[in-house]
Each structure stands twice: as C-alpha cells, then as structure tokens.
Amino acid sequence: MIHHRSAWRNRWTFMLATAGSAIGLGNIWKLPYMIGVNGGSAFVLVFIASILFVGIPLMMTEILLGRRAQRNPLNGMEFLAAEARVSPKWKLLGGMGMLTGLLILSFYSVIGGWVLSFIFDAASGTFTGIEAAQSTSNFKNLLASPFTLLFWHTVFMYLTMGVVARGVNSGLERANNILIPALFAILLILLGYSMSEGDMRSAFHFMFSFDFSKITPVAVLSALGHAFFSLSLGMGAVMVYGSYLQRNVSIARTTIYIALADTMLGLLVGLAIYSLVFANNLAPDAGPGLIFQTLPIAFGHMPAGRLIATLFFMLVAFAAWSSAISLVEPTIAWVVENTKISRKTSTSILGFAVWLLGVSVVLSFNEWQHIKVIFGLNIFETLDKLTSTILLPLGGLLMAIFAGYFMKKYHVQEELNLEDRGFKYWRIANNYIAPVAISAVFLYLFGLVK
Ligand code: PHE
C-alpha cells in the first residue's frame, strides 16, 4: 500500500542527507580515539582500505537496493525478493536493520546529550585554565549524574524526532541543508586554528607515518567494523535514503563523493584534535574521553579557546543530530507506508520507546553501572558492541549476498548503470571481497580463528 511517496528535491540534497547520516559521532568522537588507542597510523591505513574496498561498494549496494525497491527497508526487501523470485523471508533483513537503528539511537542520543551539555560548559568558560584532574572530574561528574544525563538525552531525542516528524522535505532535507554546510564551515575554522596554534607536524606523523609493524588483528577488526558504522551501512538508513532518490542519478559517483566527504572529515577532525592534544603535551590514547576530557584541557590553555571549544562541540552536535535522524527514518517510513498512523504520531510513539531504552543507557553510567548483560558488559557497552560489531556487519553481509547472488544481474546493472569495467569492480568487491572480509571478522570474533 504505497500512497504518495516523498523524494529528495535533487541529487545534491540526497548527497547532503546521506553525508549527514554518515558524518557523526563515529567520525568526530569514535574515530579519533580509536586511532589513539590502536596505535595511530596503522589503524588509519586499514580504515582507509576498508572504506575503499568494502565501504564504498557496499554503500552502492545499499543505495541500489533502496532505489530499486522505492519502499521502506522491510517492504523493500520483500518486494526485491519477489522480483528475484526468492523467499519472502528476506524482509526480515529489512526488519533487523530497522531494529538495529533504534538500538543505536538509544545510546547515540545519550552521547549526543553529553555533547549538548559540553556546548554549554565550553561557552560558559568551564574549561578556561582547566587542569587534567579537574577536567577528568568534570566529565566523571557528568556521567555520575543521572538527572543531568537524562535531561540532555531528552533534549537530543526531542531535536531528532522534531526533524523526523516533519517529513522528508521539510524535515530531513531542510535540516541537512543547514547543518552540513554549517558543519564544514566550523571544520574550516577549526583546521585554521589548529594549524596556527597546534602541532600539526606531530599530528600528521602520528596519523600518517604508516608504520606497518603496528598492524594487529584487533586493529584490523575494529577498523573494518568502524567503516560500517562510519558510513551508516548495514541497517537500512542508506537504503531508505536511496529509496527517495531519483532514477537518473549515478549511484557510483554520488557514493564516492559521500564516502570521501565522510572519510576526509573524520581524518581532518582527527588531525585538528591531535595537533591540539600534542601541542599541550597530552596523551593521545585516552579512549572515549579524548574529546571530553583531554581536548578541553587543550582548549582551556589556548587563545580564544572558549570560542573555539564552543564551536567544536557545536560541530559535534550538528554531526550527531543529522545522523540520529537517519537512524529512525527507516522505521518511520515503514509505519507510514503500512498503517494509517500519521508521521507525527508515529514519531512521538517511537521516540518515547527509544527514549525509554535510552534511560537504561543513562543509568548504566551510574546507578546501574554494575549490571552486566553479557560478557561482563554493561547496558551501554552491550548495545554499542552488539550493533557495531555484529548487527551492522551482518546486515551488510546479507545485503551484499542478496544483491550479488540472488538479484538478477541485469536488475542490478539497471540501477548501477555502469560501464563494464566499473560493474566488474563492483561485483568483485560486493560478491567476494566484502563477504570474505566480514566473515573473517565474525570468525575471529567468535573465537574460531585466533
Ligand atoms: N554514521 C554515523 C556516525 O558515524 C552513525 C550511524 C550508524 C548512523 C548507522 C546511521 C546508521 O556517527
């Protein structure tokens, strides 16, 4: 039952929206600290390779599935399975993706909340002259206060759902048209600042000296997993965005632009962060606290640090916000296309459900810290690991298999519309490289290969 379906106004707004989905906490919060804890340049190299050989082809796959289906992920997979004359059970893949998005949002929103609270901290001068001990306790205190976390988590959910409720054109499209250019403008300011005030040389050396001896299996695994997370692959966000895309747009070309923007932004932010960190003699391997504990110390001791810190956390917030909306859109599209419930009502209901799950994430940083779900992981860690190391790669693997081995080859070619050589590259990557790489990660994870 498809009534009127929305569509992006043009190729450009699709690119902004998909780049908006891709560029998020994954680039600015996770990637830099992962580079730090995984030994710097070796990790960067594997990450770039993962983007090129697995990320880009699979993003093309996900867009082509969405655009061909012209439906939400669940009905879309059902439609494509019927077209390929294979089991309708493939729709479960769409359903799994929708669920994955909601699980990610429940903790994404809590971290987004930290970022919002840091905008205010930065603007009010909390970091001015701050020393390491103070900065650590500032961050620890935030995590230890359920009510403060809850407040900001609620604000973040409200902002996210507010955009989604307005629909594709006046919500998603409009928000991304403002947020993404603003984000790049702030990035330029930040880069200029860290070039003049920071230690770019050391940062560059740290990230790009390509020391092969530092490549470990764990670094490879987390780099590949992070390529999925960073490009928003494997859960239907890109699929649903692709389903609003016009037929005449080249999937390969737009994908390359989006992936480049995402990767470049992550690496440039990494350079900016590390140049400030090194200029202040701080440690690069602080882990998740890198931008919340280490970076404020750097800002606190630099000229115009208060202004730049405020802009920096605004950049992070914009990036997180435009990603968060893509985590719910697949499910909302499904509700709107299958029921009589309006977009507004369904966003409120779904928003409340995800918010509630988020409350348990909030508590897992304080009151419920000691509650372990599996393998000694608390609620937040379980949701994070379950989604980024298992559900996203699994979703991506199944999408690649479906497009590569179940869909009719000429249907795929109709969507990709590539010349022979390009099509061959895509097929090799989609049918062999990506499935082998992802399966290797799974085998390793489940301890079959040590
Ligand atoms: N790509 C986003 C980021 O880097 C996270 C995300 C994952 C968004 C999956 C949508 C889907 O932060």
450 located within any domain: no
What is the rounded distance in angstroms from the CA atom of residue 10 to the CA atom of residue 373?
45
At 289 the pLDDT is 85
Q: CATH number of the domain that 252 lies in?
A: 1.10.4160
- Separation of CA 357 and ligand 1 centre (Å): 18
The verdict on the CB of residue 232 being under 6 Å from ligand 1 is yes
For residues 232 and 238, is the Cβ–Cβ distance under 8 A? yes
What is the rounded distance in angstroms from the CA atom of residue 397 to the CA atom of residue 57?
12
CA angle, 278 then 279 then 285, to 5°:
20
Residue ranges making up the domain that contains 219: 11-445
**Cross-strand pairs, 377:** 374
Q: For 249-262, how does the pLDDT look when each residue is reduced to its tens digit (9 = 90+)?
A: 999 999 999 999 99
Whether 213 has a pLDDT exceeding 80, the answer reads no
| Nearest C-alpha neighbor of 108 from the set 391, 286, 362, 367 | 362
6 located within any domain: no
Atom 7 in ligand 1: residue holding the nearest Cα: 232
At 1 the pLDDT is 44
For residues 362 and 153, is the Cβ–Cβ distance under 8 A? yes
- Separation of CA 132 and ligand 1 centre (Å): 30
User: What DSSP state is assigned to residue 10?
Assistant: S
Q: For 195-209, how does the pLDDT look when each residue is reduced to its tens digit (9 = 90+)?
A: 988 899 999 888 887
Relative to the CA of 27, which ligand 1 atom is closest?
4
Whether 3 has a pLDDT exceeding 60, the answer reads no
Tally the domains of the chain.
1
At 445 the pLDDT is 76
| Nearest C-alpha neighbor of 262 from the set 21, 61, 34 | 21
Q: For 399-421, how does the pLDDT look when each residue is reduced to its tens digit (9 = 90+)?
A: 999 999 999 999 999 999 999 99
For residues 119 and 314, is the Cβ–Cβ distance under 8 A? yes
189 located within any domain: yes
Query: What average pLDDT does range 41-56 have in this prediction?
Result: 91
Cβ–Cβ contacts within 10 Å for residue 398, how many? 19
138 located within any domain: yes
Percent of the chain scoring above 70 in pLDDT: 98
- Separation of CA 233 and ligand 1 centre (Å): 8
For residues 233 and 59, is the Cβ–Cβ distance under 8 A? yes
Whether 442 has a pLDDT exceeding 60, the answer reads yes
Q: For 98-117, how does the pLDDT look when each residue is reduced to its tens digit (9 = 90+)?
A: 999 999 999 999 999 999 99
240 located within any domain: yes
- Separation of CA 21 and ligand 1 centre (Å): 6
pLDDT confidence bin for 448, thresholds 50/70/90: low
Whether 89 has a pLDDT exceeding 60, the answer reads yes
The verdict on the CB of residue 26 being under 6 Å from ligand 1 is yes
Cα Rg, the chain, nearest whole Å:
21
**Cross-strand pairs, 374:** 377
99 located within any domain: yes
| Nearest C-alpha neighbor of 399 from the set 366, 370, 353, 431 | 431
More confident residue, 210 or 157: 157
96 located within any domain: yes
What is the rounded distance in angstroms from the CA atom of residue 236 to the CA atom of residue 328?
10
The verdict on the CB of residue 27 being under 6 Å from ligand 1 is yes
Relative to the CA of 234, which ligand 1 atom is closest?
9
Query: What average pLDDT does range 140-160 have in this prediction?
Result: 96
Atom 4 in ligand 1: residue holding the nearest Cα: 26
pLDDT confidence bin for 427, thresholds 50/70/90: very high
Pocket-testing residue among 183, 230, 354, ligand 1, by greatest number of atoms within 8 A of Cβ: 230
pLDDT confidence bin for 4, thresholds 50/70/90: low
Relative to the CA of 319, which ligand 1 atom is closest?
12
Residues 6+ apart with CB under 8 A from 49: 223
Query: What average pLDDT does range 370-388 have in this prediction?
Result: 86
For residues 111 and 157, is the Cβ–Cβ distance under 8 A? no
Q: For 295-351, how does the pLDDT look when each residue is reduced to its tens digit (9 = 90+)?
A: 899 889 888 889 999 999 999 999 999 999 999 999 999 999 999 999 999 999 999
At 39 the pLDDT is 74
At 288 the pLDDT is 83
Residues 6+ apart with CB under 8 A from 117: 142, 148, 152
The verdict on the CB of residue 237 being under 6 Å from ligand 1 is yes
Pocket-testing residue among 18, 322, 323, ligand 1, by greatest number of atoms within 8 A of Cβ: 323
4 located within any domain: no
The verdict on the CB of residue 236 being under 6 Å from ligand 1 is no
- Separation of CA 131 and ligand 1 centre (Å): 33
At 449 the pLDDT is 61
pTM equals 0.93
